[in-house]
């Protein structure tokens, strides 16, 4: 057996070991290479940057834990941006497991242990302020501060449940839910996941159907995101932005070119680009998980390319392109 | 009867809602709202059917001690226990949203525990395995055997390098060429595939609505 044949018949566990090392080592020795945001991601950022408390957006956690490594940082980054700008956000999920993913994202953004979080104010906690008739975001915050509440040192701001956020969660047959919400959101989601009636929420009073919504960002690990285009964009003209996995991203450039989506975050790279924009514009103190994960992707991509080149050298140098079959264990 | 009634329902429903989409009249919208409320309710019956069918299949496997029958317990136990705990102890159906919902991580319910500590890691692990298999497959199968295979290989290498910051260090043109490949050749091919699939779906749906395609009946009544 020649050296080339030995190389091509290498036990695949060695390759697994190399990939394992490539995935683990960068976490201990960060490269911190600069990431330049692409136009597809900048478009989404700029769009949300132009929104304010009078607008509202949907963020769909339309993925399962399998693709969370790519999709979760996108969802977290978009939510962070929206919360920082006090844009009311309705959060939905296309799959049952997506609801848990959305919960984890909210948890991450409202967890004081992260050191750069938003202070979550439960629906019941600001009941008195609602009873006083305050519904405008600025008035609510003013009354909340006047009531003796102070923003903790590491907190970026307040999130008032029902004014800044409505966690609607999962419903089956979500494409029908999108269709239904084009007439009325409350017809599909009478309450949020905590049982709070949607009709009592100030953010619902200003945004009763998808026609009153200014943007829907779907973070998806499957073709679920297309439902937002078919039933949201094409039926009522709802602006849509995608956050999809890297393998899916190539499929959806057609929607960018046709103008059916305003932008797209593709894979971990797309999420890292959004995090870079947030970091550059002082929406967060530290880089997010996608930015850190890009180091792993750097090394893993290089390793895979190295393996492809090595495999081809061995294949041609060994003359296997002329032989019918490579002998040995494959 | 077993064939004609479902065929009639599909034909009437299909044509009705095809037309409804283009009529913005109030009656049309009311009909549509009824439909969006009814469809999930009707669909819920499929869940009962699915769970029943799955239970029957795996309980038969256990009874007959069929090959790998032990794994059937791994299907049936979570299938019934997780919804049970979710109903009995619904501390937080919001997944990990424990703090915001006023909960405490230490008093996490069984449903949350199973979701956070079993389902999430299992799914993440399964998907992560792809990286290992892709690397192994790339080494063994990605060959420049022909001109087309070489084009594919070079495109893949450029796009992969263009997607990571280290590619830009190796050559400023990597991200630009990578994006060009995604935005033009890739887009053109995807558009063609997408249009083809779209027309195919349209043709199939029309065949189903008008009763030409009847495979979905599953041989009922034959």
The C-alpha of B79 sits at a distance from chain A's nearest C-alpha, in angstroms, of 14
**B-interface mutation test, from A29, A38, A66, A269, most B Cβ less than 10 A away:** A66
Question: Alpha helices, DSSP H only, in chain A?
Answer: 3-8, 12-28, 39-49, 68-84, 96-110, 127-131, 137-146, 174-181, 185-188, 202-206, 224-227, 234-236, 246-249, 253-257, 267-280, 289-317
| Residue carrying the six token digits 């395995």 | B129
Do A202 and A79 reside in the same domain of the chain? yes
A237 and A310, same structural domain? no
Q: Do A305 and A268 fall into the same domain?
A: no
Taking an 8 Å cut-off on Cβ atoms, the answer to whether B138 and A297 are in contact is no
Contacts of A111 in chain B (CB under 8 A): 99
Q: Following CA atoms A214, A72, A155, A131 in sequence, which dihedral angle do they give, to the nearest 10 degrees? A: 50
> Is A328 domain-assigned?
yes
- Structure confidence at residue B99 (pLDDT): 47
**Do A168 and A201 fall within a single domain?**
yes
> A33 and chain B: CB distance < 8 Å anywhere?
yes
Give the model's confidence band at B219: pLDDT under 50 very low, under 70 low, under 90 confident, else very high. low
B-chain residues within 8 Å CB-CB of A16? 132, 135-136
The yes-or-no verdict on residue B76 having pLDDT over 60 is yes
Test B134 with A304 for CB contact under 8 angstroms.
yes
Residues A108 and A236 in one domain: yes
Instruction: Examine the pLDDT at B96 and tell me if it is beyond 50.
Output: no
Q: What span, in angstroms and rounded, lies between the C-alpha atoms of B122 and A229?
A: 31
Element (H, E) at A166: strand A165-170
Tens of pLDDT, residues B155-210: 999 999 998 999 988 988 999 999 999 999 999 999 999 999 999 999 999 999 99
Residues A187 and A74 in one domain: yes
What pLDDT shows up at residue B113?
Answer: 78
What pLDDT is attached to residue A326? 59
Shortest distance, CA A163 to any CA of chain B (angstroms): 15
**pLDDT on residue B42:** 84
Judge residue A195's burial from the number of C-beta atoms within 10 Å of its C-beta, 0-12 exposed, 13-18 middle, 19 or more buried.
exposed
Of all residues in chain A, the one with the smallest CA distance to B23 is A235
Q: Do B83 and A92 form a contact (C-beta atoms < 8 A)?
A: no
Question: What local confidence, expressed as pLDDT, does residue A242 receive?
Answer: 97
Q: What is the pTM of this model?
A: 0.89
Cβ distance B165 to A298 less than 8 Å, yes or no, reads yes
> Which ranges of chain A have pLDDT less than 50?
330
pLDDT recorded at residue B181: 94
User: For chain B, how long is the longest CA-to-CA vector?
Assistant: 70
**Residue A224 resides in a domain:** yes
pLDDT above 70 (res B91): no
Neighboring chain B residues of A20 at a CB cutoff of 8 Å: 132
| Nearest chain B alpha carbon to A159 | B100
A and B: number of Cβ contacts within 8 A: 193
d(CA B13, CA B9): 6
Contact A67 B179 (CB under 8 A): no
Residue A292 within any structural domain of the chain: no
Identify the closest residue of chain A to B123 by CA–CA distance. A66
Nearest CA in chain A to B121: A65
A81 and A197 co-located in one domain: yes
A253, A269, A287 - which closes a domain? A287
Q: What residue ranges do the domains of chain B occupy?
A: 1-88, 142-210
Give the pLDDT score at A325. 60
Domain count for chain A? 2
Q: Count each helix (H run) and each strand (E run) in chain B, helices first.
A: 9, 0
Query: Domain check: are A326 and A227 in the same one?
Result: no
ipTM above 0.90, yes or no: no
How crowded is residue A319: how many other Cβ atoms within 10 Å of its Cβ?
Answer: 11
Q: Is A59 part of any domain?
A: yes
For a pLDDT cut of 70, what percent of chain B falls above it? 89
The shortest C-alpha distance from A264 to chain B (Å) reads: 12
Closest by Cβ to B179, choosing from A38, A310, A315: A38
Coil vs helix vs strand at B184: coil
Domain range holding A12?
1-30+297-330
């Amino acid at each position: 057996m020649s050296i080339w044949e030995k190389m091509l018949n290498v036990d695949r566990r060695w390759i697994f070991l190399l990939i394992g090392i490539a995935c683990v080592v960068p976490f201990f020795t960060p490269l911190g290479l600069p990431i330049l945001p692409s136009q597809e991601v900048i478009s989404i950022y700029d769009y949300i940057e132009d929104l304010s408390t009078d607008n509202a957006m949907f963020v769909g956690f339309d993925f399962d834990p399998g693709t969370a490594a790519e999709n979760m940082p996108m969802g977290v980054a978009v939510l962070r941006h929206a919360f920082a700008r006090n844009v009311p956000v309705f959060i939905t999920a296309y799959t049952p497991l997506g609801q848990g993913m959305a919960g984890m994202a909210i948890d991450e953004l409202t967890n004081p242990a992260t050191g750069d979080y938003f202070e979550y104010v439960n629906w019941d906690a600001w009941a008195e302020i609602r009873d006083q008739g305050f519904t405008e975001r600025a008035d609510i915050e003013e009354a909340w501060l006047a009531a003796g509440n102070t923003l903790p040192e590491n907190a970026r701001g307040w999130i008032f449940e029902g004014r800044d956020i409505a966690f609607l969660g999962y419903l089956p047959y979500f494409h029908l839910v999108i269709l239904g919400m084009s007439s009325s959101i409350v017809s599909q989601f009478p309450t949020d996941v905590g049982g709070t009636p949607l009709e009592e929420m100030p953010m619902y009073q200003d945004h009763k159907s998808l026609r009153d919504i200014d943007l829907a960002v779907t973070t998806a690990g499957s073709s679920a995101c297309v439902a937002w285009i078919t039933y949201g964009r094409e039926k009522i003209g709802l602006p849509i932005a995608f956050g999809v996995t890297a393998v899916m991203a190539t499929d959806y450039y057609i929607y960018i070119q046709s103008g059916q989506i305003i932008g797209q975050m593709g894979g971990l790279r797309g999420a890292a680009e959004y995090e870079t924009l947030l970091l550059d514009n002082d929406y967060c103190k530290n880089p997010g998980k996608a930015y850190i994960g890009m180091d792993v992707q750097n090394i893993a991509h290089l390793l895979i390319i190295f393996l492809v080149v090595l495999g081809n050298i061995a294949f041609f140098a060994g003359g296997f392109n002329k032989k019918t079959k490579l002998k040995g264990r494959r | 009867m077993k064939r004609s009634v479902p065929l009639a329902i599909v034909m009437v429903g299909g044509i009705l809602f095809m037309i409804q989409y283009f009529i913005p009249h109030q009656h049309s919208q009311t009909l549509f709202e009824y439909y969006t409320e009814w469809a999930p309710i009707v669909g819920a019956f499929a869940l009962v059917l699915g769970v029943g069918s799955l239970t029957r299949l795996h309980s038969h496997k256990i009874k007959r001690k069929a090959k790998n029958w032990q794994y059937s317990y791994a299907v049936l136990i979570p299938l019934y226990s997780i919804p049970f705990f979710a109903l009995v102890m619904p501390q937080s159906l919001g997944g990990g949203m424990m703090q915001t919902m006023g909960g405490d991580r230490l008093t996490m319910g069984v449903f949350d525990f199973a979701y956070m500590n079993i389902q999430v890691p299992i799914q993440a692990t399964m998907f992560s395995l792809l990286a290992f298999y892709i690397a192994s497959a790339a080494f063994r199968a990605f060959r420049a055997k022909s001109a087309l295979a070489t084009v594919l290989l070079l495109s893949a290498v450029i796009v992969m390098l263009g997607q990571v910051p280290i590619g830009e260090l190796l050559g400023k043109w990597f991200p630009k060429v990578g994006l060009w490949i995604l935005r033009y050749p890739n887009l053109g091919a995807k558009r063609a595939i997408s249009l083809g699939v779209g027309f195919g779906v349209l043709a199939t749906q029309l065949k189903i609505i008008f009763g030409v395609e009847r495979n979905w009946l599953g041989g009922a009544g034959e």
